[in-house]
Structure 1
Amino acid sequence: MLPGGVALPTALVTAIPSPEQSVWWLGPLPVRGYALSILLGIFAALWLTSHRSRARGGTGQEIYDIAVPTIVLGILGGRIYHVVSSPWPYFGEDGNIWDAFKIWEGGLGIWGAVALGALGAWWAARRRGLSFLDLGDAMVPGLLVAQALGRWGNWFNNELYGGPSDAPWAVQIHRMSGGEAVRDPSGEAVVLGTFQPTFLYESLWCLIVAVVILLLDRRLRFARGQVLALYLMGYTLGRFFFEIMRTDPAQLVLGQRVNVWVSVAIFGLGVALYVWRGRVGDYPARGALRPEGAPAAS
């Protein structure tokens, strides 16, 4: 109840509203909520990584030196992973193969983005004589923030939600077509219902993992690559459960969504990387972001 006895609309207190439009036009130029979320995440990741590289003895320029191949290959890898893991919209009976190239409409798989993005970062770091593991450890919190912001692109698109829910934090989902909500004869946007906001859960989880890693990195001394391993373990721990909750079509393996199994595999990889780097004992000097092969400060 607002002052003066005005009641709040029921929808505002029973569900999170979703946009009825995900594309806005500036003349002939489309502005897409999904793309804006991705771009905001990229800028946030660049800023935070630059800040962390300076704190580790770098110039802060290192991330910008490797940004182009990292971002380009990351986006390409994310799209390839999405198309391969969800092939029916493109190669199915009613699919359109050309839609696979419409990256602006959404559809990026995080593990493809991380894999090819890491390859681009490794290549660029190697060319500049920088330690890829040092840069990877510096990039991790920014990457998580980028993922958290990027997930809001799914909110704009009214997609990637869980099962029906009447919880106050459930998200209202519209039937969308061409970047706008479909409308009934009266002109009202068609609402499919209220559902578990898995995009929101994952966004908040990414921020929590980022904060935990930042706090641990300030208090503990990690070997090169161990912060990267914490990212692999921390993110997949949450993604495993969020993936099970999702109801959008997905490729199944042994009765489970393929990304459930990928999360399990990546978590195991993170554990192995953490243990291996600890046994190697390659501890960087505090405040030193040094090139590959350079001796550590005593």
Structure 2
Amino acid sequence: MSALAAIPSPTQAVWQLGPLPIRAYALCIIAGIVAAIWITERRWVARGGAPGDVLDIAVWAVPFGIVGGRLYHVVTSPRPYFGEDGDPLRAFAIWEGGLGIWGAIALGGVGAWIACRRRGIPLPAFGDAVAPGLLVAQAIGRLGNWFNNELYGRATDLPWALTVYRWDGTRAVVGPDGEPVVLGTFHPTFLYELLWDLAAAALVVWADRRFRLGHGRAFALYVASYCAGRLWIELLRTDPAETFAGVRLNVFTTVVVGLLAVAYLVWQRGRPREVLTRGRQTPDGPAAAAAVAGGAGETGETEPPGDDDRGRHAGG
């Protein structure tokens, strides 16, 4: 298949603005974080949370998540850092790319838990609000992999194959003819995951509206739906990664985490969505809901029970 007939890849991922390097990967990560905060803020306020809670929690969750994502990436792909000819100091070079989603969610969750505890906010309720925004952030972040010519799959000549160039870390290597050196055409696994993430975000929003998910069930659905896609996408990838019994470690992680998410959904089935007033949870039940709804005229931030209020949910 001709490279000209395939999806093109960027030939540059870093631009110099005077002494300041502008990195596409970092811009995509920042854009994803901003999108997630915006979506979550709308959903959180619609569910009864106080405006500003999300940004305050993000101050804790985002740094924790970045550190966790990098730790997971280094542990599951250690050869560039600790293998033969590896450079341990590159483990700190987050701007070069390499953030593992499971580490980001795990340690980011710790940061969110600390912030929620400080503000008296139930973490499961916040998790339900943030779930679709995380998927959108992940989708935007995958564009950074496209700029870096990384995380592609096996070679293919399908019509949507991705042209990948030989890469020197910041730009494509140029051959004697002055043209970028083409490695071949491959499965665009970054694009598969991007589209899957957006579809999963739509699923979570729909299910949240339809079934009024609460107590962490929307977050569990996010994890389960993401794992379902990540499993088959991971099996297409060819980038170096640690394996166990010949299978990529990420595959094992995806299966275990996905099954735990499904188990949580089953365990929590049938529970009514918690009623929040200024982000704080009140006891479940019609009496508690009626009491909170009766005070809605004062706070303007409660979520009455029932299905008639779906129209005012900005994000589900």
Normalised TM-score (structure 1): 0.92
Q: Matched residue of 1:151: which SS?
A: helix
Deviation (angstroms), 1:288: 5.2
Letter in 2 for 1:297: A
Question: Structure 1 residues 283, 20: CA separation in 2 closer, same or farther (over 3 Å shift)?
Answer: same
Deviation (angstroms), 1:104: 0.5
2:273 is the alignment partner of 1:283: yes
What's the % identity of the aligned pairs? 55
Report the aligned-residue RMSD. Answer: 1.5
Equivalents in 2 of 1:160, 1:223: separation in Å?
Answer: 34
Tell me the residue number matched to 2:237.
Answer: 246
Deviation (angstroms), 1:239: 0.2
Cα deviation digits, residues 16-36 of structure 1 (max 9, x gap)? 100000000001100111111
Tell me the residue number matched to 1:19.
Answer: 10
Q: Matched residue of 1:224: which SS?
A: coil
Tell me the residue number matched to 2:153.
Answer: 162
Question: Structure 1 residues 66, 56: CA separation in 2 closer, same or farther (over 3 Å shift)?
Answer: same
2:160 is the alignment partner of 1:203: no
Tell me the residue number matched to 2:143.
Answer: 152
Normalised TM-score (structure 2): 0.87
Tell me the residue number matched to 1:297.
Answer: 289
Cα deviation digits, residues 28-64 of structure 1 (max 9, x gap)? 1001111111011001001000110121122331110
Tell me the residue number matched to 1:225.
Answer: 216
2:124 is the alignment partner of 1:133: yes
Which of the numbers 83, 95, 99 marks the counterpart of 2:86?
95
Cα deviation digits, residues 225-269 of structure 1 (max 9, x gap)? 111110110000000000000011111111110000100000111
Task: Tell me which moved more, 181-190 or 142-151.
Answer: 181-190
Deviation (angstroms), 1:292: 4.7
Equivalents in 2 of 1:32, 1:125: separation in Å?
Answer: 32
Deviation (angstroms), 1:293: 6.0
Name structure 1 gaps, 5 residues minimum: 1-9
Q: Matched residue of 1:161: which SS?
A: coil
Equivalents in 2 of 1:96, 1:217: separation in Å?
Answer: 45
2:41 is the alignment partner of 1:37: no
Q: Matched residue of 1:194: which SS?
A: strand
Deviation (angstroms), 1:120: 0.2
Kindly tell me the number of residue pairs found equivalent between the two proteins. Answer: 286
Equivalents in 2 of 1:178, 1:199: separation in Å?
Answer: 18
State how 1:96-115 maps to structure 2 within 5 Å: 96-115=87-106
Which of the numbers 101, 106, 110 marks the counterpart of 1:119?
110
Cα deviation digits, residues 265-285 of structure 1 (max 9, x gap)? 001110121122226x36313
Residues 73, 116 of structure 1: 8 Å contact kept? yes
Tell me the residue number matched to 2:51.
Answer: 60
Equivalents in 2 of 1:277, 1:288: separation in Å?
Answer: 22
Letter in 1 for 2:274: P
Letter in 1 for 2:179: E
Task: Tell me which moved more, 220-229 or 62-71.
Answer: 220-229
Q: Matched residue of 1:176: which SS?
A: coil
Which of the numbers 228, 245, 258 marks the counterpart of 2:249?
258
Name structure 2 gaps, 5 residues minimum: 291-316
